Amino acid sequence: MAASGFTTGSVLRLRPGRPRTAPAERFVPRQAPQRAAAYALELRRAIESAARRRLPEDVRAEEITILCCFHASLVLNAVTGGSATMTFSARCHEERLRAANVARRMAWSATAALVDFGCAVLRGEAAHCEAAWLKHRRRAAAQGSPPSPM
């Protein structure tokens, strides 16, 4: 026995007969999981609603992860010097067709190939960049704005 009066296998007790840690049920109400699930569902619906409000009509019916990717693509395109209304995928296809010199066309072709490969693997979508470009042209024509020259 050690000088403190405890052996190596003894349990420290705050009060006689009570263990130091209380059972988890005492601190977590039984309704907490249901409330958390309801709150998470409500939060997801609010995020989806906010995300859909500013999207073109042909994209609004998509799943939330696709909506997030669409917004991220618009931001990426704007940050890299493109139009804020065109996705990066559409810009990749457009630039690989109309870039001023061969080196830029090759760079955009490689970028479009990477995007197409990623979408083929993750979404099963072939020729994603071309499809995005066609959707962009269709949206521009529906809004009455002139599409970019080709």
Ranges 21-30, 57-66, 89-98, most confident:
89-98
Task: Confirm whether 28 is domain-assigned.
Answer: no
Measuring CA to CA, how many Å separate 89 from each of 31, 32, 113?
Answer: 45, 43, 10
Give pLDDT, residue 147. 54
Predicted pLDDT of residue 31: 59
For residue 75, the enclosing domain spans 63-143
Average pLDDT of the chain, as a whole number: 76
The 3-state DSSP class for residue 101 equals coil
Q: 35 lies in a domain? A: no
91: confidence class by pLDDT, cuts 50, 70, 90: very high
Structure-block tokens of residue 48: 């989806």
Please report whether residue 110 resides in a domain: yes
Residue given tokens 């052996």 in the structure block: 7
Residue at 3 is within a domain = no
Which residues are paired to 18 by β-bridges? 15
The answer as to whether 18 is a domain residue is no
Residue 106 lies in a domain: yes
Tell me, yes or no, whether 78 lies in a domain: yes
Distance CA 103, CA 141 (A): 30
Number of domains in the chain: 1
Arithmetic mean of pLDDT, 1-28: 50
Give the CA distances from residue 55 to residues 63, 78, 126, in Å, rounded to whole numbers and listed in that order: 13, 16, 23
Full-model pTM = 0.58
- Residue 10 is assigned to a structural domain of this protein: no
pLDDT in tens, 44-56: 777 777 766 766 7
